Homo-oligomer: A and B are copies of this chain.
Amino acid sequence: MTDVKHMKWWGWGREGVGFHHEDKPNFAPFVLDAVGLDLWSAEKAERPDFDALDVPESKATTPFRAKLAEIVGEEHAHVDDMTRVVHAYGKSLRDLVRVRAGDLGRVPDIVVYPADEAEVQRIVDAAVAQDAVIIPFGGGSNIAGSLEAPREETRVIVSLDLGRLDQVLEIDEASGLARIQAGAQGPDLEAQLGAQGWTIGHFPDSFTHSTLGGWVATRSSGMQSDKYGDIADIAKGLRVVRPGGTLVIRAIPSASTGPSVREMILGSEGRLGVITEVTVQVHRVPERRDIFAYFFKTWEDGLAAMQEISESDATPSVTRISDSNESGFSLATSKESKGISKKVQDGLFAFLEGRGWDMDEVCLSFIGFEGGEAHAKRQKAIVDRIVRKHHGLGVGKGPGVLYDQKKFDTPYLRDFLLDMGAAGDVSETAGPWSKLAGIHDGVYAAANAAYEQIGRKGWIMSHLSHSYHSGACLYFTFAFVMGDEDPLGEYDIVKRAIQQAFIDFGGTISHHHGVGVEHSPWLEQDISSEGVAVMRGLFEAADPKRTFNPGKITG
C-alpha cells in the first residue's frame, strides 16, 4: 500500500482529531443563541459506517489496471473501496452531507500514486490512449466541487493522486526561488524549507491538508498574502504534464510573452493537465513575525482603517477585521485560559463602555508585521496612527493567540456542528474598497431572507482579510440547523442567496476557493458571457477529448 495519508472519508482532518468545546464554556450558549441548537441536549449523529456504503464497482478494465500498475507499481494502483471513496469528493459541506448519506456520486474507478513526473506522463498518455478521464488529486481539501466526476461520466475515471511528489527539489538561494513537487502539503514543505531558513509565506486555512499543486490549481490565497502575495504572485515556474509532453514555464520574474500561460494554469483546476512541479518565491524567515490585536468601535471605522492602511506607506503582512458578529463569536469560542482572559476582557470592556462604546458593535482586528526589528516597529507605528484616527484601540499581542489558535480549526468545528445536524459553511468574495460595506450588508440581507424562506434560525458573520491597494476579501461564515427532509435543498437556498449577493453588490464569486461546479452557475455574471466563452474555448482547444477533470469551472 502506498503511504500517502488521507483525511477521514467522512470529514476534515486525520482520524482522532476533532473539535470539542469542553474548554470553551461560552461556546454552547453562543450556538444556542445563534442557531437555536442546544448542544447540551442535542443528539450527536453516529459515526458513519463505511461498511454500510454501497460503493459502485470499478469500471477500470483489467488490462487498463494492469497498464497503470505497470507504470506506478502494483502497490500504488488502488481499486479498493476506501481509497476510491476518499478520492470521490473534496471536503465541502455538500460533499460531507452526501458522503455521510451514502450518496457517493461517480466514484473514481482507480486511484494511482505516481512516484515522479515521468510516471505522471505515462499515466496521462495511457489514459488518453484509453479515452479515460483524469482527475488530479492533491490534499482533497477543495470545497468548490472541483474534485468530483460528473455523474453521467461513462468513461473510466482515474484519480491521479500527487501525494508521493512531496519534495523540495532545489532552492536557488540567490534568487529566492524553490523548485517543489506539486504534491507537497503545507506543513511538509514549510518544514523542508524552514530547515534551510526559508518560507513561502503561504498559509491558507486549509494549509495542514492542502498541497502546492492544489493551491496553484485553485488560485489559493494565504493569510499573510498582504506581504507574500497570493499563490498567483508566488508561483513563478510551472511544469504541467499534458498528452504527449510537458508544458514548462520557467521561473521568470516577469515577462511580456503574450497572454500568460502561467496564469492559464493558475486556477485551471486540473482542466489543462497535471501540475507536477512549481517553482515558488521563497523568503528568508523574518526576524519578527508578530500579530497584534485591535478593537474598533464599529465595522465602518474598522473598514475605513483597513482601507487607509492599504494606501499608506505601511506594508503589514496581515490585515484582518471581524465584524461584530464574528468578533462576538471569536470571544465566545476562545479557550478560557487563552486569548484575552475573562478578567482582562471584562476590565477592557468596562473601560470601553465607559468611553461610550456599544460592546455589541465592537470589531476585533488582527494586523501582522514581519521583517527586521526596526521595519516591523515602524510599520506598526504607521498602522497605530491610522487605527487611532479611526477610533480604534490596540490591545497588544495577547489576543493574537486567538488568531493562531483558530486559524486552521474551522473545518473541525464545521464537522462537529454537522454531527449535530447543523450546516456551517463559508463563502468568500473580493471587491473594491468602495463596495465592501455594500457587499457586507447585502450578503447579510440576502442570507437572512434565505433563512426566512426556509424557516430556520440562521447565523452569519464575516471578516475582511487579504487587503490589496484597490480592495479586499470579505469572508462569510453562515450556519443553521438543517431539516431532515431536504438538508441540501435548504443549504442551496442560503448558499445561492449569498453568491448572488456577491454579484449584485459588486464582488466576485470567489476570492480563493475556486469555481469547481459549486460556483460555476455565477461565472458568466462575474466575468461576462464573453469572458466565459473565451475561457471555454481555451479548455476545448487544449483538451478536445475532455480528458482532464471535465465539467469544472465552465461546466
Selected interface stretch from A3-11, A65-73, A520-528 = A520-528
B-chain residues with CB within 8 Å of residue A527 when the two chains form the complex: 248-250, 257, 261
Contact A256 B513 (CB under 8 A): yes
Give, as a whole number of angstroms, the nearest-CB distance from A222 to chain B.
12
> In the complex, A220→B533 CA distance in Å?
26
Q: Does A391 contact B (CB under 8 A)?
A: no
B-chain residues with CB within 8 Å of residue A313 when the two chains form the complex: 371-372, 375
Contact A172 B534 (CB under 8 A): no
Contact A531 B248 (CB under 8 A): yes
> In the complex, A299→B311 CA distance in Å?
35
Contact A258 B172 (CB under 8 A): no
Q: Does A266 contact B (CB under 8 A)?
A: yes
B-chain residues with CB within 8 Å of residue A250 when the two chains form the complex: 506, 508, 526-527
Contact of A176 among B469, B528, B538 (CB under 8 A): B469
Q: Does A236 contact B (CB under 8 A)?
A: yes
Q: Does A108 contact B (CB under 8 A)?
A: no
What is the chain B residue whose CB lies nearest that of A530?
Answer: B247
> In the complex, A540→B538 CA distance in Å?
9
Task: Kindly state the interface size class of chain A when it binds its partner.
Answer: 35 or more
Given contacts A311-B176, A371-B313, contact A515 B257 (CB under 8 A): yes
> In the complex, A272→B260 CA distance in Å?
13
Q: Does A448 contact B (CB under 8 A)?
A: no
Contact of A258 among B232, B257, B535 (CB under 8 A): B535
> In the complex, A527→B175 CA distance in Å?
20
B-chain residues with CB within 8 Å of residue A221 when the two chains form the complex: 254, 256
Contact A247 B176 (CB under 8 A): no
Contact A470 B281 (CB under 8 A): yes
> In the complex, A318→B422 CA distance in Å?
54
What is the chain B residue whose CB lies nearest that of A236?
Answer: B470
Q: Does A224 contact B (CB under 8 A)?
A: no
Q: How many copies does the complex hold?
A: 2
Contact of A515 among B172, B256, B432 (CB under 8 A): B256
Segment 186-234 of A: residues with Cβ below 8 Å from B? 218-221, 230, 232
Q: Does A253 contact B (CB under 8 A)?
A: yes
Q: Does A245 contact B (CB under 8 A)?
A: yes
B-chain residues with CB within 8 Å of residue A372 when the two chains form the complex: 313
Contact A537 B538 (CB under 8 A): yes
Q: Does A320 contact B (CB under 8 A)?
A: no
Q: Does A473 contact B (CB under 8 A)?
A: yes
Contact A256 B218 (CB under 8 A): yes
Give, as a whole number of angstroms, the nearest-CB distance from A378 to chain B.
7
> In the complex, A553→B255 CA distance in Å?
13
Contact B257 A267 (CB under 8 A): yes
Given contacts A313-B375, A506-B250, A528-B246, contact A256 B512 (CB under 8 A): yes
Given contacts A267-B259, A313-B375, A433-B175, contact A252 B507 (CB under 8 A): yes
Contact B530 A537 (CB under 8 A): no
B-chain residues with CB within 8 Å of residue A95 when the two chains form the complex: none
> In the complex, A527→B261 CA distance in Å?
8
Contact of A247 among B263, B466, B534 (CB under 8 A): B534
Contact of A253 among B176, B469, B540 (CB under 8 A): B469
Some 18 contacts from A to B, beta carbons below 8 A apart, are A177-B434, A219-B260, A242-B530, A245-B528, A246-B528, A247-B534, A249-B527, A252-B430, A253-B432, A253-B473, A256-B514, A258-B535, A260-B263, A260-B266, A263-B264, A313-B372, A313-B375, A378-B378
